[in-house]
Amino acid sequence: MSGKSWKSLLRGCCGSSSNDQQGKLASKQRSLQRLSFSEISHSPGPLSPSDLTVSLAGSNLYVFSLAELQMVTGGFSNSNFLGEGGFGPVYKGFIDEKVRPGMEAQTVAVKLLDLDGVQGHREWLAEVIFLGQLSNPHLVKLIGYCYENEHRLLVYEYMAKGSLENHLFKRHFTSLPWLTRLKIAVGAAKGLAFLHETEKPVIYRDFKASNILLDSDFTPKLSDFGLAKDGPEGDNTHVSTRVMGTEGYAAPEYIMTGHLTTKSDVYSYGVVLLELLTGRRSVDKTRPSREQNLVEWARPCLNDTRKLMRIMDTSLDQQYSHKAVQKAATVAYQCLNHTPKSRPQMSTIVEILEPLLDFDDGMIGTFVFSVETEVVGEEEEEEEKKGCNGSGNGNYHKGQRHKMRSSKCGRHSDVLLYRNSATNYSRKGTGAMVVNMECE
């Protein structure tokens, strides 16, 4: 999205301070009702750091100083760099009671707002307000924040396995087994169901593989609430917003009208489910033109068993329950329905997908987790050659990419990845904009 449209969103966040308003917010917080984003961000005054602390009094968030976060990340050192998205760089750190008496010793991830970037106070505030008040095993835990002068930082629990995007699409990662994929699909569905069915529903709006983080046993947790919205209130059926999200994941009716509902998230969920089944990115400009948009290419195959087998990720080596795969494909098909009302609720999806974890027809062996490996042996070199000759179904799954290291193959693979990064997400990430359309 353009810097301009992000900036215009910042306006409502910074009005003048009012003790009265803050008093009301604090008493609401004490009564354990979740404060909506608009209640805090539209208070009639600039939200000072102390106003925010008062408003979020019941949330147990730590307020860190910039100096403390510098210290815990070794001065934001390169060796602690975890990655970078649209908000800014993310660093690994360690906190314990040397930082604050009584603080539980733990590894954390510290996200630092890039002051020259496209995101700003609004996205930071949305993250603090939503994640500071919502708690669920499938939402990443926000431990605290820093709000000092122009600096905005976020401190999260550390997710040891990084993002689903890395595991599905980056080389150096071996293929995720089917049951791990299904576990991720079920957990992420539970996270969305929680958001949609909580007392004051939340629309997540940026559901995608890079926002699903994985802990050490591949339990998935949703991160990045910068675009989240409170759901419609009263008799309203939808929220009207500017269109924001990520190309390839946003629901068609939302792109066309700016009308946002929980069913927009269900569509995005269907796209991620399709990525898990096929091992392909939602948008991949390196592929032949009719295959570039994953939904357009794959949706017609989801209800036909023979065609479905042709689009499945070849790196799974057919190590999955065919029945489970068919049921999951049917769910993806329903999520991707053009009519939002015909898409299932997230809780229904959980009910359908969770039992599939026990389906074992067609499976050899048990639940195996993937291990990162650097080794390229002779056998793999043979396969590299085959891949370069264009054998197979043309599905460049990450298993093949991982192996493409030698001579011509290596160069070919680099080109694919570079072009892929440039089109689908940049190193500075996206929070990527679909269309710049004003509906508010």
Residues forming the active site: 206
Q: Cβ 234 to ligand ATP, closest distance in Å?
A: 31
Binding pattern for the stretch 80-99 against ligand ATP, x by CB under 6 A and - elsewhere: --xxxxxx--x---------
Q: Taking the CA of residue 321 as centre, how many other CA atoms within 13 Å lie in the half-sphere pointing to its CB?
A: 18
**Binding residues for ligand ATP, how many (CB under 6 A)?**
24
Q: Cβ 389 to ligand ATP, closest distance in Å?
A: 32
**Between residues 5 and 330, which has the closer beta carbon with respect to ligand ATP?**
5
The closest residue (CB) to Mg ion is: 224
Q: Cβ(222)–Cβ(139) under 8 Å?
A: yes
State which of residues 124, 158, 204, 396 lies at the interface with ligand ATP (CB under 6 A): 158
Task: Give residues with Cβ within 8 angstroms of 382, minimum separation 6.
Answer: none
Q: According to the binding rule CB under 6 A, does residue 140 interact with ligand ATP?
A: yes
d(CA 206, CA 184): 17
Q: According to the binding rule CB under 6 A, does residue 279 interact with ligand ATP?
A: no
Dihedral sign of CA atoms 13, 87, 160, 93 in order? negative
* DSSP string for residues in 328-371: HHHHHHHHT-SSGGGSPPHHHHHHHHGGGGG--TT--S------
For residue 159, the partner it binds in ligand ATP, Mg ion, none, with Cβ less than 5 to 8 A by kind, is: ligand ATP
CB-based burial label for 206 (10 Å; 0-12, 13-18, 19+): buried
**Between residues 191 and 344, which has the closer beta carbon with respect to ligand ATP?**
191
Q: Cβ 431 to Mg ion, closest distance in Å?
A: 8
For residue 431, the partner it binds in ligand ATP, Mg ion, none, with Cβ less than 5 to 8 A by kind, is: ligand ATP
Q: Cβ(155)–Cβ(143) under 8 Å?
A: yes
The candidate with the shortest Cα–Cα distance to 438, out of 262, 258, 235, 195, is 258
Binding pattern for the stretch 395-434 against ligand ATP, x by CB under 6 A and - elsewhere: ------------------------------x---xxx---
Q: Cβ 368 to ligand ATP, closest distance in Å?
A: 22
**Between residues 216 and 391, which has the closer beta carbon with respect to ligand ATP?**
216
Question: Collapsing DSSP states into helix, strand and coil, what is residue 131?
Answer: helix
d(CA 186, CA 194): 12
Helix then strand then coil, % of the chain, to nearest 5? 45, 15, 40
The closest residue (CB) to ligand ATP is: 85
Amino acid occupying residue 60:
N
Q: According to the binding rule CB under 6 A, does residue 211 interact with ligand ATP?
A: yes
Q: According to the binding rule CB under 6 A, does residue 213 interact with ligand ATP?
A: yes
* Torsion, CA 92, CA 97, CA 102, CA 106, rounded to 10: 30
Stretch in the footprint of ligand ATP (CB under 6 A) among 156-164, 232-240, 385-393, 397-405: 156-164
State which of residues 130, 156, 173, 204 lies at the interface with ligand ATP (CB under 6 A): 156
Q: Cβ 2 to ligand ATP, closest distance in Å?
A: 15
Q: Cβ 172 to ligand ATP, closest distance in Å?
A: 13
For residue 156, the partner it binds in ligand ATP, Mg ion, none, with Cβ less than 5 to 8 A by kind, is: ligand ATP
Question: Collapsing DSSP states into helix, strand and coil, what is residue 157?
Answer: strand
| Backbone conformation region of residue 137, classed left if phi is above 0, alpha if psi is from -120 to 50, else beta | alpha
**Between residues 140 and 184, which has the closer beta carbon with respect to ligand ATP?**
140
Q: Which phi and psi angles does 19 have, rounded to 5°? A: -65, -40
Q: Which phi and psi angles does 46 have, rounded to 5°? A: -65, 135
Binding pattern for the stretch 191-210 against ligand ATP, x by CB under 6 A and - elsewhere: -------------------x
Q: Which residues contribute to the site for ligand ATP (CB under 6 A)?
A: 82-87, 90, 109, 111, 140, 156, 158-159, 162-163, 210-211, 213, 223-224, 425, 429-431
